[in-house]
């Protein structure tokens, strides 16, 4: 719940966050994975970062359900993007 200064309130969606200025913004959050140390396309070392795709997924833990987005590995050297494999999820603890 987001309580505003005028005593009104709003239920936040799982994709909504509050900025430091009090604005409600929508943001995608990806499943946290370890990025690969080497890009599979160009063999560059430590150039991959994670970005959130538009594909939704749900992660269920003992503490509850998380509405997240599937991650994409994006190489900052060759600009190629690839989806993680099952092995990437397992090595990251899922």
The pLDDT tens digits along the chain (94 residues) read: 677 777 778 888 878 888 998 888 998 999 999 988 999 889 999 898 999 999 998 888 888 888 899 999 999 999 999 999 999 989 988 8
Q: Are 42 and 78 in contact (CB under 8 A)?
A: yes
Q: Looking at residue 8, what is its pLDDT?
A: 79
Q: Are 44 and 78 in contact (CB under 8 A)?
A: yes
Place of tokens 């994709």: 15
Q: Looking at residue 11, what is its pLDDT?
A: 85
The Cα 20–Cα 4 span in angstroms is: 13
């Amino acid at each position: 719940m987001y309580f505003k200064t005028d005593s009104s309130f709003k239920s936040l969606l799982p994709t909504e966050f509050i900025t430091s200025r009090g604005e409600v913004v929508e943001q995608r959050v990806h499943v946290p994975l370890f990025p690969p140390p080497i890009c599979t396309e160009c063999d560059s070392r430590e150039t991959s970062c994670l970005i959130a795709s538009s594909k939704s997924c749900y992660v269920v833990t003992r503490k509850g359900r998380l509405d997240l987005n599937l991650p994409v590995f994006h190489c900052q050297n060759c600009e190629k993007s690839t989806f993680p494999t099952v092995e990437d999820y397992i090595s990251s603890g899922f």
